[in-house]
Structure 1
Amino acid sequence: MAPPAAVSKVFDAVHGLEPPLLSDPRSDLNSYLSVLKRLEEALRFLSDNCALAVQWLDDIVDYLDDNAVADSKFLQNLKSSLSFLKSNSSSSLDGGLLEEALTRLETEFRRLLDEHSVPLPMPSTSLSAAAIAPSPLPVHVITKLAAIIERMIANNRLDRCVSIYIEVRGSNVRASLKALDLNYLEISVADFDDVQSIEGWIEKWGKHLEFAVKHLFEAEYKLCNDVFERAGPPEVWTGCFAEIAAQAGILAFLKFGKTVTESKKDPIKLLKLLDIFNSLNRLRVDFNRLFGGKACIEIQNETRDLIKRVIDGSCEIFWELLVQVELQRQTPPPLDGSVPKLVSFITDYCNRLLGEDYKPVLTQVLGIQRSWNRQNFHEGLLKDAILNIIKALEVNFEAWSKGYEDQILSYLFMMNTHWHFFKHLKGTKLGVLLGDPWLREHEQYKEYYAACYLRESWSKLPSLLSREGLILFSGGRATARDLVKKRLKAFNDTFDDMYQKQSNWVISDKDLREKTCQLIIQAIVPVYRSYMQNYGPLVEQDASASKYAKYTAQTLEKMLSSLFQPKPGRSASFRVRHSNGKMNSVVTNQYRSAPTVI
């Protein structure tokens, strides 16, 4: 067959493909793709043979013109037609049918994605589970998408499918995350005072990040691979996934962690940095697999930067704890003789660091930084650091006790503090580290200072109720009455002075408080009761009896039982030195589940 005839026959066939290719692909996608493939083959034939057919016709026209065989007007029209064919590419021979068919396929590609992309709900089960989420699209839909992509690749339009895929799936992942209320990820350092004020957000951050990685990004990673598996080199689908992850907000999670590292230093920040490290470390394998390719280089860099900031920040705060405790030596002791909040804070804080939640993480963090600095690390370094902190705290006791002008209050303070150490550390991780001999030593110190306190204060009162000169009434009844009055007045004045002063003192521990009150009662009340029974009648008939027989034994017992009660709202100062050299006073309060510095 002559080239023009063959081209004309194929051209007619192309026009015959118009009805099925101008229909909706969704009705029968496989048939539509089959017809499209026939169109592609036809257009390739036309592309390969049109030039040959035109050249063949051009030779015929030249022959006719040279030999004057045909009418001149016919030849002119023929030459014009050939000129038109030469000036137009073979791609226009289908009248734009291929372009229209590919556009319809793009629409179908988007429809399949839109109709089957549903935001993933927050799972009700624990997010710590390592289960990988199932594919978010049915297998038959993935098969159709892959078939469409195959035709798009054949026509150099893969980028259009990639763009649509990123737009739809990226939007779907963002919708899944939106239900979690992630506005806190955009917070800046200027928006909060300290880490404690955003402690709840840090906890949410760990759960939300795990959900995003294990349930959302894991599923998208697998789906990208399934859909674009035959689309060429792996860079195609990994790049697609990287763009979806970036648009969905993985960088915002990393930015939030960075914001926490930039907040001001305090002991609570160490715990929160360890929480952040623990969350990232649990997801380390997932991060390396999902974001390990070249397309995710920005995510890799931001993750490495965050991890370095977390490790350096954690180590800096931890190694400075000893210095911070030593600095508290310069601060005055509590005015009421109670256990300083710093003591409670540091002992509880060190127990947290030695507990199962934080010790493994802190050990790992310290080890990593020392390896960066080419230094050896062993677990004994952590224990030694904790012991040095506690020893520094013990030195503080002596320094603080010397800050009292009242020696009796100093004894009460030391009794309070040593008992706190013994009772609140016995049976704890820190107590085990310190050892039983160390704890018993503090118990003995408590006994010693309790004895000193009683000897120098309340134990002196009974001696004021002397019976000397009263037994034989050697000076007569009037003389005896005057002696009793004098001694009761001295007792009352001394008691009132001591009671008024010590009413503002505090014994923090309930058991120690009750025991101390009972010892005071035992030292005073029996002596007073006996004295009043024997000599009270000498003054009770006096007109000024109430001035001397001021208290009953029951009244004294009730008053003494009410001593040393903690005052609501009391706080003590824990001063933290910052990198600028300034000392900021930070109030330490009791906390719910973790040590708190605000």
Structure 2
Amino acid sequence: MADTAVIPHERNRQAIPSVRQNLSVGMFKVVSDIDEGLSTMTITDLNSGAADIEERLKCLEEKILRWESESSMIWESGPSEASDYMQYVDEVRRLIEILESSPSFQDSDGIKLLDRAHGLIQMALSRLEEEFGFILVQNKQPLEPERMSFRSNDEEVVDEFSCSSFEEDISEVSGVRFSRDYPSKGPDEYIINLIDPVLIPDLKRIADLMFLSNYDKECSMAYINIRKDAIEECLSVLEVEKLSIEEVTRMDWASLDSKIRRWIRVMKVFVRVYLSSEKYLSDQIFGGFPGSFSQSCFIETTKGAMLQLLNFGQAISIGPQSTERLPRMIHLFEVLADLLPIIESLFPDEETGSSVRTECHEVLRQLGACVRGTFQEFKIRIKMNESTTAITTGRNHPLTRYVMNYITLLADSSEILDSLLVNGDERDRLLVMPKAFPTITEEDEEGDSSCKAPLVAHHLREVTSILEANLEDKALLYSDTSLQHFFMMNNIYYMVQKVKDSVLQPLFGDDWIRAHQRTFRQHAMDYERASWPLILSYLKDEGVCNPGTNSPSKTILKERFRCFNLAFEEIYRVQTAWLIPDPQLREDLRISISLRLLQAYRTFTGRYSSHLNSTRHREKYIRFCGEDLEKYLLDLFEGVPKSLHYPRRR
């Protein structure tokens, strides 16, 4: 008997029969498939004696040891060489089964043969482990940035707030090759080939043989380590940075906002495409193994990357609760909540996958708390916003524009915000992506009915109520009562238009719109009543005639026209500097003023101007015709202060 240097493998000597006993029905099919490819010489032909087995083992040693001196890889030599090597190794495995199971080989010669066989298969399996890793590395499909449509320039990344459908996002992944045989596990999961599909059968044959030889741990570790490196490369391609929680919390908002937007896009592609593809690859290679072997390999491969990405979300959630972050926080929560069902399906195992699921739920919980806290902070900031000086033009306040634009953004994600604003146990129950709005009952503006409204509608209306109260305080900064109403008219009108022309309309409802239309119209009327009665009083008939007669007094008429001129000059000088930004509101208010002023002026001048025909310097008193006033009124509310230039009259 040849004395080849081999090392007995005590683990394999005892374990191979037990592996057989634990094979699933699927694995028996795998064994049968391997057996069909073996040489025509069967193990039963060797049952005649130890000499025949020794001879066959010696032949297999020569064939297997030949590759130990080769520097090249077996799979580089072609499919025929690779197939032959697999057959040799499997035949050694089957020889071991015969030697271990037959009582006739329990003598010293039989034990020596078994030791040689164990040493040989350990050497061969170590080589197959190298070949397995070689195939995984050399046949990895590249992930190119341009194919994944991830741009390095942050300005080119779309600044999206509302969570668009994944079909829109996936359409940007130009050039990604989807598997025709396995295109999707579900409506939100897409599969790409991470390994050249031609080599998948070879990887599976190696894995099957290593598993049958009780070398499954070494096989899985080789797979996990190589695929971990591939995932690191994927994250690098997607430009994911490893940032500590401290680094994230110290980052300025502009930089952090850019990274959040990138994180959102990365998470969509990484979970729905890359992780789903990793799961499919693991199932292709290890799917026939008993228990959760394939699942465990996938989880061990990917959980580190997932926890790294979730760590960023956690860092965001514990950062400052500044209102500028709120829309992005809601979007981040929305995306992660939308991905949660996929994450839970990819990491279902209670032992190995629980850390990812637990961390994902914890990040969602923390983000939800951050959103609620920041939303309350938003209300407080509106309430506490103070001004020491009034806006001279009386235009709508910057706070009004900020708040209305802000809540318009929030309304784009009203469903998810609605679930986050629920209190107590109800909030916890609806934490993630509710199927329907939780509702509250509130009386409408008319008080004649009750309606069901989303909770978020109540909160957004509360925001506008806080804003209105703040604006009323700011209006008091004006000493001119007419300008107070002018300011409130501008702001309430702006609020109404923002609600009417946006996603806020269904949340606020027609009753709110009608009530606030009445409010800004009332302020417009109050402005007119505060600004124009004095000047109109000079155009009244009362007190024009001499006492006890029906004859108009020239002195009184001169004084009336003189006072009218001075009053109009002052209003013109002041209110040309006032501003109504909205063209329609500006035009409507001018028309309303014109109807009252022009009619009164034309009536008064038509009735009394002839009484001043003989008056010296008549033009000093009757400085305007109706057309002049009409033209001057068009200069009002443009925000450009002007002074009157009187026309010369003959």
Q: TM-score, normalised by structure 1?
A: 0.70
Match of 1:126 in 2: 168
- CA offsets 1:258-314 (integer angstroms, 9 cap, x no match): 232233324453332322222122222211111222223332232122011112122
Equivalent position to 1:276, from 332, 341, 359: 332
2:136 counterpart letter in structure 1 = L
Equivalent position to 2:371, from 300, 314, 327: 314
CA distance in 2, matches of 1:243, 1:562: 74
CA distance in 1, matches of 2:562, 2:400: 41
Say what the alpha-carbon RMSD is for the aligned residues: 4.7
2:248 and 2:256 in contact (8 A); partners too: no
Match of 1:513 in 2: 586
How far has the Cα of 1:495 moved from its partner?
4.3
Query: What is the DSSP-based 3-state SS (H/G/I as helix, E as strand, rest coil) of the residue aligned with 1:265?
Result: coil
CA distance in 2, matches of 1:456, 1:372: 50
CA spacing shift, 1:437–1:302, aligned 2, 3 Å: closer
CA distance in 2, matches of 1:320, 1:199: 19
CA spacing shift, 1:391–1:163, aligned 2, 3 Å: same
2:148 counterpart letter in structure 1 = M
CA distance in 2, matches of 1:285, 1:366: 22
Match of 2:648 in 1: none
Equivalent position to 1:109, from 123, 132, 135: 132
CA distance in 2, matches of 1:481, 1:119: 98
Match of 2:361 in 1: 304
2:85 counterpart letter in structure 1 = Y
Match of 1:415 in 2: 489
How far has the Cα of 1:520 moved from its partner?
4.3
CA spacing shift, 1:308–1:155, aligned 2, 3 Å: same
Match of 1:339 in 2: 396
1:168 is aligned to 2:226: yes
How far has the Cα of 1:257 moved from its partner?
1.8
Match of 2:319 in 1: 263
Query: What is the DSSP-based 3-state SS (H/G/I as helix, E as strand, rest coil) of the residue aligned with 1:222?
Result: helix
How far has the Cα of 1:401 moved from its partner?
2.9
Match of 2:43 in 1: none
Greater helix content? 1
How far has the Cα of 1:412 moved from its partner?
0.9
How far has the Cα of 1:408 moved from its partner?
1.8
How far has the Cα of 1:122 moved from its partner?
2.5
CA distance in 2, matches of 1:415, 1:97: 92
2:393 and 2:639 in contact (8 A); partners too: no
Query: What is the DSSP-based 3-state SS (H/G/I as helix, E as strand, rest coil) of the residue aligned with 1:460?
Result: helix
1:39 is aligned to 2:92: yes
Pairwise mapping of residues 102-501 of structure 1 onto structure 2 (< 5 A)?
Answer: 102-120=125-143, 121-122=147-148, 126-127=168-169, 130-133=188-191, 136-137=194-195, 141-183=199-241, 188-193=248-253, 198-199=256-257, 201-234=259-292, 236-247=293-304, 249-293=305-349, 294-319=351-376, 321-328=378-385, 334-350=391-407, 353=410, 355=411, 357-367=412-422, 370-371=425-426, 378-380=438-440, 381-426=455-500, 430=504, 436=510, 438-461=512-535, 493-501=566-574
CA spacing shift, 1:164–1:538, aligned 2, 3 Å: farther
- CA offsets 1:324-365 (integer angstroms, 9 cap, x no match): 443347876544322233334444544555x5x422212333
Query: What is the DSSP-based 3-state SS (H/G/I as helix, E as strand, rest coil) of the residue aligned with 1:563?
Result: coil
CA distance in 1, matches of 2:148, 2:428: 42
2:488 and 2:523 in contact (8 A); partners too: yes
Question: Which range moved further: 181-190 or 397-406?
Answer: 181-190
1:290 counterpart letter in structure 2 = L
Query: What is the DSSP-based 3-state SS (H/G/I as helix, E as strand, rest coil) of the residue aligned with 2:168?
Result: coil
Query: What is the DSSP-based 3-state SS (H/G/I as helix, E as strand, rest coil) of the residue aligned with 2:369?
Result: helix
- CA offsets 1:458-485 (integer angstroms, 9 cap, x no match): 453465689999999xxxxxx989986x
2:337 and 2:364 in contact (8 A); partners too: no
CA distance in 1, matches of 2:105, 2:616: 138
CA distance in 1, matches of 2:301, 2:533: 79
CA distance in 1, matches of 2:575, 2:389: 19
CA spacing shift, 1:112–1:368, aligned 2, 3 Å: farther
1:10 and 1:46 in contact (8 A); partners too: no
How far has the Cα of 1:220 moved from its partner?
0.9
Match of 2:57 in 1: 14
CA distance in 2, matches of 1:435, 1:153: 66
Query: What is the DSSP-based 3-state SS (H/G/I as helix, E as strand, rest coil) of the residue aligned with 2:352?
Result: helix
Query: What is the DSSP-based 3-state SS (H/G/I as helix, E as strand, rest coil) of the residue aligned with 2:479?
Result: coil
CA spacing shift, 1:521–1:535, aligned 2, 3 Å: farther
How far has the Cα of 1:379 moved from its partner?
1.1
CA distance in 2, matches of 1:11, 1:498: 118
How far has the Cα of 1:216 moved from its partner?
0.9
- CA offsets 1:405-454 (integer angstroms, 9 cap, x no match): 22121121122233334444347665556555554443334333323323
- CA offsets 1:10-41 (integer angstroms, 9 cap, x no match): 55543322443224643333321221233345
Question: Which range moved further: 210-219 or 328-337?
Answer: 328-337
1:149 and 1:231 in contact (8 A); partners too: no
How far has the Cα of 1:165 moved from its partner?
1.6
1:224 and 1:238 in contact (8 A); partners too: yes
1:564 is aligned to 2:637: yes
Match of 2:177 in 1: none
CA spacing shift, 1:304–1:418, aligned 2, 3 Å: closer
CA distance in 1, matches of 2:253, 2:387: 26
Query: What is the DSSP-based 3-state SS (H/G/I as helix, E as strand, rest coil) of the residue aligned with 2:393?
Result: coil
CA spacing shift, 1:482–1:372, aligned 2, 3 Å: closer
Structure 2 stretches lacking a partner, 5+ long:
2-47, 68-72, 150-165, 171-186, 432-436, 441-454, 547-552, 641-650
CA distance in 1, matches of 2:472, 2:194: 66
1:311 and 1:369 in contact (8 A); partners too: no
Match of 1:590 in 2: none
CA distance in 2, matches of 1:222, 1:403: 67
1:132 and 1:218 in contact (8 A); partners too: yes
1:518 and 1:561 in contact (8 A); partners too: no
Query: What is the DSSP-based 3-state SS (H/G/I as helix, E as strand, rest coil) of the residue aligned with 1:513?
Result: helix
- CA offsets 1:200-230 (integer angstroms, 9 cap, x no match): 5444433321211121111111221231234
CA spacing shift, 1:561–1:255, aligned 2, 3 Å: farther
Question: Which range moved further: 397-406 or 515-524?
Answer: 515-524
CA spacing shift, 1:400–1:522, aligned 2, 3 Å: same
2:421 and 2:427 in contact (8 A); partners too: no
Query: What is the DSSP-based 3-state SS (H/G/I as helix, E as strand, rest coil) of the residue aligned with 1:206?
Result: helix
Question: Which range moved further: 417-426 or 375-384?
Answer: 375-384
How far has the Cα of 1:104 moved from its partner?
3.1
**Larger RCO: 1 or 2 (CA < 8 Å, sep 6+):** 1
1:192 counterpart letter in structure 2 = D
When Rg is computed on C-alpha atoms for both structures, the one with the higher figure is: 1
2:637 counterpart letter in structure 1 = F
- CA offsets 1:519-562 (integer angstroms, 9 cap, x no match): 445555677789699799999989xx9x9998897776555423
CA distance in 1, matches of 2:395, 2:121: 88
CA spacing shift, 1:39–1:95, aligned 2, 3 Å: closer
